Structure 1
Amino acid sequence: MTERLVRCVFGLFLFAAGITLLIRAELGAAPWDVFHTGVSELTGIGVGTIIVAVGVALLLLWIPLRVRPGLGTVLNAVLIGVFVDLLMPIVPEFEPLLPRVVMMLGGVVVIAIGSGFYIGAGLGPGPRDGLMTGLAELTLAGRPISVRVARTVVELSALAVGVALGGAIGVGTAVFAVGVGPLVQLFLPPLTMPKPSADPTPPPAPAVPEGP
């Protein structure tokens, strides 16, 4: 459990570092972070604080959807925003295009690696992922909603509201949307911890054959 917790927190730190790189690159953030930066621009509140507030609000939406959070879910809702607020003053901004492109691409890769660590720890999905899987359990006109449709609707809704609020949209948004899925698929298997055995007791020692 200790190792799972450490890997989860480390993954969330990497995830926050990737978000910070994308925002500082100023070439467009991930869809949810377009929403976060838009709300931040509107309210004047730091992006990290907005991430925490949105994460907690999404957890409240889990209640009617009957989705059960795990320890990793709560850590996700709180720590990513805290880490972003800590990293924002540290990560510099650049005017030349080349370092900004490197930051954008590096941010997507770091987010994918961080996702592999915290998802692979097996301590529960993030607030946004749980919302999507919860919606997928509902039915519309008697037909179940697929996870793909639920994810697309939620992501596009967050993106649209973020754009309306003046969020950081750009080529980085498209690069994230296209690249993060394959990268997570690449990093997740080697970073996934095996599930604990259902029976914690060790198997009995083999019997020693008796002599003649």
Structure 2
Amino acid sequence: MLVTAGVGVSPWTVFAEGVTDITGWSLGFATLVISASVLLLWIPLRQAPGMGTILNAIIIALVLEYVLPFLPTFETFVANALLALTGVFVTGFGGAIYLIANLGPGPRDGLMTGLQAVTHQPIALVRTFLEVLVVAIGWALGGTLGLGTIFFALGIGPAISIGMQILQFRGSVH
């Protein structure tokens, strides 16, 4: 939804867009290659992937590859900004699903926790460093920055938290 809105994307998607600009790959394939590369960085960090880790990488790549062309686009900036904001909440809810399932972190989350364990720096500092690094590289390679990037940076944490609260509430009702 963030990509379709055209008003800026998440930091890692900025990076993937930059990779597509220099390789000619599709956004889905570039995202899959980046996820696999990030998983290789787990080895010296002694992180262990789970089923959720692998599924995260594959599903995100497949959605970008095959669902993206079918998502709506709008003519007005306001409508596209709302689409981007909705995309942040959908992403946050999806993140909550795989975190609650406890099947392993996504590739980027595992990199974050692995670096935090090695550096002993606060998790917020490690995540911010990673996000700023990949957005800078992606932008230098030609990726898209914009309002959606800000929405994602400020909204993904609360969106995941809300998603987890909803899922935990539903789990306690049944």
Q: Same fold (TM over 0.5)?
A: yes
Q: Does residue 135 in structure 1 map to residue 115 in structure 2?
A: yes
What residue number does 1:93 align with? 73
> More helix by proportion, 1 or 2?
2
Q: 2:141 aligns with which of 150, 165, 175?
A: 165
The two structures, once aligned, show a CA RMSD in angstroms of 1.6
Q: Does residue 56 in structure 1 map to residue 32 in structure 2?
A: no
Q: For residues 69-110 of structure 1, what are the alpha-carbon distances to aligned partners after superposition, in whole Å with 9 as ceiling and x for unaligned?
A: 111111112221012111122114333223212211111111
What residue number does 1:80 align with? 60
1: distance between equivalents of 2:129 and 2:66? 31
Bigger mean CA deviation after superposition, 160-169 or 97-106: 97-106
Structure 1 residue ranges, 4+ long, deviating more than 6 angstroms after superposition: none
Q: For residues 13-42 of structure 1, what are the alpha-carbon distances to aligned partners after superposition, in whole Å with 9 as ceiling and x for unaligned?
A: xxxxxxxx1011110001111111111122
2: distance between equivalents of 1:109 and 1:182? 9
Q: Does residue 176 in structure 1 map to residue 152 in structure 2?
A: yes
Bigger mean CA deviation after superposition, 38-47 or 49-58: 38-47
2: distance between equivalents of 1:62 and 1:122? 18
The percentage of counterpart residues that share the same residue type is 42
2: distance between equivalents of 1:121 and 1:115? 10
Q: Does residue 36 in structure 1 map to residue 16 in structure 2?
A: yes
1: distance between equivalents of 2:31 and 2:55? 12
Structure 1 residue 52 displacement after superposition: 0.6
Unaligned runs of 5+ in 1: 1-20, 195-212
* Number of aligned residues: 170
1: distance between equivalents of 2:167 and 2:78? 31
What residue number does 1:189 align with? 165
2: distance between equivalents of 1:101 and 1:77? 26
2: distance between equivalents of 1:126 and 1:35? 17
Letter in 2 for 1:165: L
Bigger radius of gyration among the two: 1
What residue number does 2:3 align with? 23
2: distance between equivalents of 1:58 and 1:30? 16
Normalised by the size of structure 2, how large is the TM-score? 0.91
Q: For residues 29-64 of structure 1, what are the alpha-carbon distances to aligned partners after superposition, in whole Å with 9 as ceiling and x for unaligned?
A: 011111111111222211111111111111111111
2: distance between equivalents of 1:42 and 1:172? 23
Q: For residues 176-197 of structure 1, what are the alpha-carbon distances to aligned partners after superposition, in whole Å with 9 as ceiling and x for unaligned?
A: 1111211211111332598xxx
- Conserved 8 A contact 2:45-2:115: yes
